[in-house]
Amino acid sequence: MVAENYKKVLENVKRCAKKAGRSENDVTLIAVSKTKPLEMLKEAYEAGARDFGENHVQELVEKIPAMPSDIRWHMIGHLQRNKVKYIVGKVYLIHSVDSLRLAQEISKESVKAGVTSNILIEVNASGEESKWGGNLKESAELVKEAMSLPGICVKGLMTVAPYTENPEENRTYFSTLKQLLVDIEAENKDNNSMGELSMGMTGDYEVAIEEGATYVRVGTGIFGERNYTI
Ligand SMILES: *Cc1c(COP(=O)(O)O)cnc(C)c1O
């Protein structure tokens, strides 16, 4: 089931990219495997998945050594500063950097480990109170501050849009994030490491791709509903 789901979503991602006049390789599908057992991750891997997303440090550090080493692991959940040391050097991209103190901690641990950590700045594009991330202005400021830190490369922006039955309602947040990226790039012409936009989940990734997503994070659509009670 996981394999078929993965292939179906991947096909859909490519079709959407082409329809939006973009290259199908422009958009990377991240299989969000949080709470799911290794057997299901392996099934997705066998079907071709190489980008996996997790949102808890504990789960990441358990799953990474149990899976093939050519996987790119994405930390997409809220990250506490005291847990940074466990994932630096092990993950391909940290999507959820929402404060200068967190960026500083990632910088410190990366320098110590002799690595460069790729990060995205998380933006609360909808202004929903339950969401992590700063507002647009704070996020633009944070990008600039984080860019100057050693051991860190700021690759772009990430947002989690509100849950909705109608993905069209989230289009405005996705286009807002894209515009913010364009504005930041225009202001920082000498630093062109940006360009990545992580936005869109099972319910709204097609709209996100139309608005410029380069990473979509799909969990339920690949692995099925999550059961948080077990
Ligand atoms: C769980 C999660 C996803 C995937 O959500 P689905 O709706 O299951 O596709 C994407 N992004 C983040 C940050 C998540 O925590």
pLDDT at 27: 98
Distance 186 CA to ligand 1 centre (A): 30
pLDDT greater than 60 at residue 37: yes
What 3-state class would DSSP assign to 87? Answer: helix
31 CB-near residues (< 8 Å, 6+ apart): 6, 41, 44, 49, 51, 52, 53, 218, 219, 222, 223
Question: How far is the CA of 118 from the CAs of 39, 124, 200, in angstroms?
Answer: 28, 20, 20
Q: For residue 142, what pLDDT band results from cuts at 50, 70 and 90?
A: very high
Distance 32 CA to ligand 1 centre (A): 6
CA 31, CA 216: separation in Å to the nearest integer? 9
Q: Whose CA is nearest to atom 12 of ligand 1?
A: 76
With beta carbons less than 8 A apart as the criterion, state whether 100 and 136 touch: no
Distance 170 CA to ligand 1 centre (A): 15
CA 47, CA 54: separation in Å to the nearest integer? 19
Q: Whose CA is nearest to atom 6 of ligand 1?
A: 219
Distance 160 CA to ligand 1 centre (A): 8
pLDDT greater than 80 at residue 230: no
pLDDT at 191: 73
Name the one residue in this structure whose structure tokens are 């093939």.
Answer: 68
Q: Which two tokens stand for residue 48?
A: 């071709």
Give ligand 1 pocket residues (Cβ under 6 A).
32, 34, 55, 76-77, 160, 201-203, 217-221
What atom of ligand 1 comes closest to residue 32's alpha carbon? 4
Q: For residue 229, what pLDDT band results from cuts at 50, 70 and 90?
A: low
With beta carbons less than 8 A apart as the criterion, state whether 88 and 115 touch: yes
Q: What is the pLDDT of residues 68-113, one digit of tens each?
A: 999 999 999 999 999 999 999 999 999 999 999 999 999 999 999 9
The CA dihedral of 198, 204, 209, 215, to the nearest 10 degrees, is 30
Predicted TM-score of the model (pTM)? 0.97
Of 40, 132, 217, the one to substitute when testing ligand 1's pocket (max ligand atoms within 8 A of C-beta) is 217
Q: Whose CA is nearest to atom 4 of ligand 1?
A: 219
Instruction: Break the chain into its structural domains and give their ranges.
Output: 2-223
What atom of ligand 1 comes closest to residue 223's alpha carbon? 8
What atom of ligand 1 comes closest to residue 226's alpha carbon? 8
Distance 39 CA to ligand 1 centre (A): 19
Q: Would you tell me the crossing angle of helices 38-46 and 2-19 to the nearest 10 degrees?
A: 50
Tell me the CATH number for domain 2-223: 3.20.20.10
Q: Whose CA is nearest to atom 7 of ligand 1?
A: 202
